[in-house]
């Protein structure tokens, strides 16, 4: 028998060594792309090497090229870390090597998925009849939700799109807010609904759909709403819009990659009033729920429709009514709900609410501190997201680059209201108030140092 105990113990030590550095290591990567090419390039070996040596080499060679995005002072994009119980459960799922497509293949992991899905819909206040498909992330969640919408509307019009394709199908309308996420447009492109054929609805200064600009909806319309704008964290006004869509028999799809989790918090759930009236919802596990990557969920009110859109035809692995393989695009895949189950058990309903509330409180502290330093905060900080600038675009970007070089924190550039800005997202379970203060200190130092430099040292402001 191979000595997996020694190999996995050693690997666990290497992983723990890495995780122990997350609080103190420079947040950005140190290595350049060329360094990494050198570390991992070279010819394909003719003969294999010992597993222990390979893991050792991986850990050492990759380290300078690893971004501490799982650490407490990474505020880039909307990323989130991984709770320790989620990492551990994910390892176990890897060791089990189970594909949770059907009960006969893996009784344990299919059950774990069903329970994790039920707990999640309960925490999010979504209808109990809804089913959950565990997918790679919100990109695929959007794809699956829109496929269900396409089936629902076309079948009602007498066209079975899964059987016959879009050939000869009556046209559908797609209504999307002007601030819809790029992955939603990609999903529309893949599904033959067209990236550019959509009716864009004007958004307000926070990125929310303006209800007064909503076109007339009908029973051939897919309406795409958003819970959590990727920059501002703003929510579309569900209570104003969802009842209109329901009355028109349109399908409402909600992209809530991170924002949907606000429903778990009694303090923030008001942002989502009316969202439960939609037909499909997307969220990510790997962002705000803090499970490792490769975990998103599509929740659908209409199990039969979702199954019709995703089922493998014919009596392939005869099974109970709804097997996971018939709810999402994959037949074989990893048991990605296992860390979700572990996190929901680790935190409980209250712990998820506290995670959301804590990140939002840190975001308010960060926004307040930035304003004290001289930043303009451009959004209402209703959630965990901040959009800010200080002085000119060049000055703002110089501050970002200086903090990045300092290694204390990392936040990224974005575009807001037609101009470059900085975006901060507080999405990690690990972030503390001290991390926020250390970040603000680093930002203040960068601003002071740049102001102290002769003006000629700054790039000429482009306006």
User: How far is residue 303's CA from residue 99's CA, in Å, rounded to a whole number?
Assistant: 21
Q: How far is the CB of 132 from ligand PLP (least distance, A)?
A: 15
Expressed in angstroms, the distance from the first to the final Cα of the chain is 67
Q: Which of 337/442 has CB closer to ligand PLP? A: 337
**In the complex with ligand PLP, which residue's Cβ is closer, 383 or 447?**
383
Shortest Å, Cβ 135 to ligand PLP: 9
Q: Which long-range contacts (CB under 8 A, 24 or more apart) does 89-97 make?
A: 89/338, 89/339, 89/341, 89/342, 89/343, 90/291, 90/292, 90/338, 90/339, 92/338, 93/334, 93/335, 93/336, 93/338, 93/339, 94/334, 95/8, 96/335
Cβ proximity to ligand PLP: between 225 and 446 the closer is 225
79 versus 447: smaller Cβ distance to ligand PLP: 79
For ligand PLP, the closer of residues 137 and 237 by Cβ is: 137
- Min dist. Cβ of residue 426 to ligand PLP (A): 14
What is the smallest separation between the CB atom of 198 and ligand PLP, expressed in angstroms?
16
Residue 186 Cβ vs ligand PLP, minimum distance, rounded to whole Å: 9
* Shortest separation between residue 267's beta carbon and ligand PLP, angstroms: 21
Other CB atoms within 10 A of residue 48 CB:
7
Chain residues in the site for ligand PLP (CB under 6 A)? 78, 137-139, 181, 183, 228, 230, 255, 257-258, 284, 296
CA–CA distance from 399 to each of 69, 320, 402 (Å)? 20, 57, 5
Token match 């007498």: residue?
158
Which of 367, 376, 354 is closest to 436 using CA atoms?
367
Name which of 234 and 390 has its Cβ closer to ligand PLP: 234
Task: Pick between residue 265 and residue 398 the one whose CB is nearest to ligand PLP.
Answer: 265
Sheet of 131-135: strand order equals 131-135, 296-300, 280-284, 251-255, 221-226, 173-177, 199-201
**Phi then psi for 225, rounded to 5 degrees?**
-110, 170
- Shortest-Cβ-distance residue relative to ligand PLP: 137
Q: Are 86 and 336 in contact (CB under 8 A)?
A: no
Provide the minimum distance between the beta carbon of 284 and ligand PLP in the complex, in angstroms, as a whole number: 5
Nearer to ligand PLP, 77 or 395 (CB): 77
DSSP letters spanning 313-357: PSSSS--SS--GGGTSS-SS---TTHHHHHHHHHHHHHHHHHHHH
Least distance to ligand PLP, CB of residue 129, Å: 25
């Amino acid at each position: 028998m191979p000595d997996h105990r020694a190999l996995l113990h050693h690997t666990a030590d290497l992983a723990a060594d890495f995780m122990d550095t997350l609080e103190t290591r420079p947040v950005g990567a140190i290595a350049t792309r060329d360094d990494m090419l050198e570390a991992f390039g070279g010819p394909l070996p003719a003969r294999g090497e010992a597993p222990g040596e390979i893991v050792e080499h991986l850990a050492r060679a990759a380290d300078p090229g690893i971004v501490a995005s799982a650490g407490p002072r990474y505020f880039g994009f909307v990323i989130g870390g991984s709770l320790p119980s989620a990492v551990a459960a994910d390892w176990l799922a890897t060791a089990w090597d189970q594909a949770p497509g059907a009960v006969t293949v893996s009784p344990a992991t299919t059950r774990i998925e069903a329970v994790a899905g039920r707990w999640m819909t309960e925490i999010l206040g979504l209808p109990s009849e809804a089913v959950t498909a565990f997918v790679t992330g919100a990109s695929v969640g959007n794809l699956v939700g829109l496929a269900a919408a396409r089936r629902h509307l076309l079948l009602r019009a007498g066209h079975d799109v899964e059987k016959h394709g879009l050939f000869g199908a009556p046209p559908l309308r797609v209504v999307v807010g002007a601030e819809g996420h790029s992955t939603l447009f990609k999903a529309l492109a893949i599904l033959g609904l067209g990236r550019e054929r959509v009716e864009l609805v004007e958004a307000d200064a926070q990125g929310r759909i303006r209800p007064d600009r909503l076109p007339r909806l009908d029973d051939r319309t897919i309406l795409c709403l958003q819970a959590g704008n990727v920059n501002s964290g703003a929510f579309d006004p569900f209570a104003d819009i969802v009842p209109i869509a329901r009355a028109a028999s349109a399908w409402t799809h909600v992209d809530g990659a991170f924002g949907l989790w606000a429903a778990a918090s009694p303090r923030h759930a008001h942002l989502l009033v009316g969202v439960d009236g939609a037909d499909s919802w997307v969220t990510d596990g790997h962002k705000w729920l803090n499970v490792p990557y490769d975990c998103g969920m599509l929740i659908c009110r209409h199990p039969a429709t979702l199954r019709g859109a995703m089922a493998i035809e014919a009596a392939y692995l005869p099974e109970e009514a709804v097997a996971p393989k018939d709810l999402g695009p994959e037949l074989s895949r990893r048991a990605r709900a296992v860390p979700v189950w572990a996190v929901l058990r680790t935190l409980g309903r209250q712990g998820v609410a506290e995670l959301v509330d804590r990140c939002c409180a840190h975001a308010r502290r960060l926004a307040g501190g930035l304003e004290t330093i001289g930043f303009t905060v451009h959004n209402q900080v209703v959630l965990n997201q901040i959009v800010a600038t200080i002085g000119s675009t060049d000055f703002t970007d110089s501050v970002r680059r200086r903090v990045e070089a300092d290694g204390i924190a990392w936040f990224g550039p974005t575009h807001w209201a037609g101009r470059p800005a900085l975006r901060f997202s507080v999405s990690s379970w690990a972030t503390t108030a001290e991390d926020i203060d250390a970040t603000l200190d680093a930002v203040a130092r960068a601003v002071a140092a740049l102001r102290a430099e002769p003006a000629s040292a700054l790039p000429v402001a482009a306006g």
